[in-house]
Structure 1
C-alpha cells in the first residue's frame, strides 16, 4: 500500500475532483485513464505527453509497470519513478488501473464495492476512498504528547 503523505493524499483528491468536474477521461488512453490522470497531477505532464511516452513501449499501465526499470531512462519509466517517489507502489498502480485494491474496496459499503474500472464516477469514488484510507493511516502515525509529558515552564 502507498506511503501515506499529505502530498499524495492531496494529489488523489485533486485528481478525483478534476475527474468529477469533467476533465478528459478515457480508459484506453494512457494519459487520460485512471493512472494517467493521477500521473498528470503528480508529474505535471499533459495527458498527451504521458500517452506519447507510454507508446514508446508496448502495453497498458499494468504491462508498463511490469516492465518498469528504475534505472531506465525511458520516459514512461521516469513517470512511473516519479509516481513511486510520491509514495505509490507498483501494486498501487496496477490496482488503480483496475480499481481493485482490497483495502480500498473494504471501506465502501458492500453494495458499492463492485466498481467498474472504466467508469469515471467509479474512479472518483475509488480515489476519494483511497485518499481517506491513506489519511487515516497518516493520522494514526501522529502521536501527541500527553499532559504528563509536558514540562512546566
Structure 2
C-alpha cells in the first residue's frame, strides 16, 4: 500500500476537493483523468503540461506505467518518478486509472462497487475517498508506533 505521508494525504484531499468542485475531468485526457488529476497535485503541473508530457510517448497511463523508466529523461517518466517519490507504487497508479485495487474496493459496499465505472467522476471520487481513508489510518498507526509507550493513544473500545 502507498507509503503514508502528510504530503500524500494532502494531495489526495486537494484532488478530491477539486473533483467535487468541478475540476476538469475527462478519462481520455492524460492530464484530466484519474491519474492526471492526482498528478496535478503531486507534481504541481497543469493538466495541459501533463497531457503534453504524455503525448511525447505512446499509450495511455497504463501503457506508460508499464514502460516507465526512471532514467529515460522523458518528462512523463520524470513525473511518474515524482509520484512514486510521494509514496505511490506503479501498481497503485495502474489501479487508480481503472479503479481496480481489491484492497480499496473491498471497503466499498458490494452493491455500489459492482456499479463502479473507471470513467465516472463520482466513482473516482468514491475510490479516492476510500483510498484516502486507508492511507490516513496507516499514517496514524505509524505515528502511534513512533510515540513512547506512555504517550500512545488509548483505545476506548
TM-score range, shorter-chain basis? Answer: over 0.9
For residue 70 of structure 1, report the CA deviation from its aligned partner: 0.8
Q: Please list every run of at least 4 consecutive aligned residues from structure 1 whose deviation after the TM superposition is greater than 6 angstroms.
A: none
Higher relative contact order (CA 8 A, sep 6+): 1
1:14-25 matches, cutoff 5 A: 14-25=14-25
The farther-off stretch of 106-115 and 49-58 is 106-115
1:59-138 matches, cutoff 5 A: 59-114=59-114, 115-138=116-139
For residue 17 of structure 1, report the CA deviation from its aligned partner: 1.0
- TM-score, with structure 2 as normaliser: 0.90
- TM-score, with structure 1 as normaliser: 0.93
* Unaligned 5+ runs, structure 2: 152-157
2:149 corresponds to which residue?
146
**Number of residues of Structure 1 aligned to a counterpart in Structure 2:** 149
* Unaligned 5+ runs, structure 1: 149-153
Partner Cα distance (1:147, 1:79) in 2:
42
**What do you get for the CA RMSD once the two structures are aligned?**
1.5
